[in-house]
Amino acid sequence: MRKIALAVLGLVLFSALAVSAAAQPRVGPPPPRIEAPTLQPSQNHIWITGNWKWTGINYEWVDGRWIKAKKGKVWVAGTWEQVGARWVWKPGEWVKPKPPKPPKPKTGKPRPNK
């Protein structure tokens, strides 16, 4: 009985490791597709570009779409990032826009007249 329980536990752990490995591909996604957005539903909508989604076996394209904008926020698109030998999807998100940086003062030396 104990051997069977250990075998089942080992199988469950192996399956969990296999699923976790499939969730993070070792190969980067293909280049993004070029999309032609459809007619904008309203001035309150923004276009979210499509992206590649990992299915556990290969990448599958998810079409872009229009979504309602959030007041006072900007959309930052999701990206695929390489972390070690794996690729990880960082989903898009709404963020507050950063205030513009003030211009740097010029501290260069004056040029001599010729």
Who wins on pLDDT, 66 or 11? 66
% pLDDT > 70, the chain:
78
CA gap 77, 87 in Å, rounded: 16
**Token pair recorded at residue 100:** 């513009």
Q: Which of 55, 56, 59, 57 is nearest to 31 (CA)?
A: 59
pTM for this predicted structure: 0.65
**Token pair recorded at residue 95:** 């963020």
Which pLDDT tens digit goes with each residue over 90-105? 999 999 998 888 888 7
Question: What's the pLDDT score for residue 52?
Answer: 98
